[in-house]
Amino acid sequence: MSGECISRVKTCNGVPDCSDGFDEFPGICRNNDPPGVCRPIPPTIQSICTHLLSYGNTSLPNYLNHTSETSTVQAAFALNQVSGCHPSFTFLMCTTVFPKCEDDQLVPPCRELCEEVQASCEAPLQAIGEEWPRSCADLPSRRDGRCLEPESDTAVQKFL
């Protein structure tokens, strides 16, 4: 990788961040399913977020533009480092990295949830060299009724 190091969140997101493009190398950014097709969350990955998610289907690319299961797990590990910054951080990251898929359509987290968590967690992410992974502005409002929010704000739990 030419000696440079990038955030694991940026691996396999469709944007070459490394000068040699290795972060988007097809050998590590491979998904055998066609994009946008709902499929069960694999059991090894499901255990990461299963205690928070009421669904079992997801699709790639996800809301961070990851196209492989490997890159989704890497992103989840990287982002989990600051999971204590907000009670809903883990839920937001789970629904972003492993989005709900119904009728071959992804259901995103709600904009208001994203903005609230971002306000609490952006600085801790920056402190460990990570950027806030996505814009909240393009997510639907909870008023639209087609987005996800946690059923209850329970104690913060690490998901990895």
Of the ranges 44-53, 62-71, 88-97, 123-132, which one carries the lowest mean pLDDT score?
44-53
| Strand ranges inside 15-151, DSSP E | 39-40, 57-58, 100-102, 105-107
pLDDT value at 143 more than 50: yes
- DSSP run (H or E) holding 71: helix 69-79
**Average pLDDT of the chain to the nearest whole number:** 77
Q: Report the run of H or E that residue 121 belongs to, with start and end.
A: helix 111-127
The model's pLDDT over 77-134, given as tens digits with 9 standing for 90+, comes to 777 777 889 999 989 998 998 899 998 889 999 999 999 999 999 999 899 888 898 8
Statement: residue 51 has pLDDT above 70: yes
**Bridge partners of 40?**
57
Please, what are the domains in the chain? 7-36 (no CATH), 41-138 (1.10.2000.10)
Question: Which token pair is 8?
Answer: 């694991």
Write down the pLDDT at residue 9. 53
Name which of 150, 159, 93 is nearest 125 in CA terms. 93
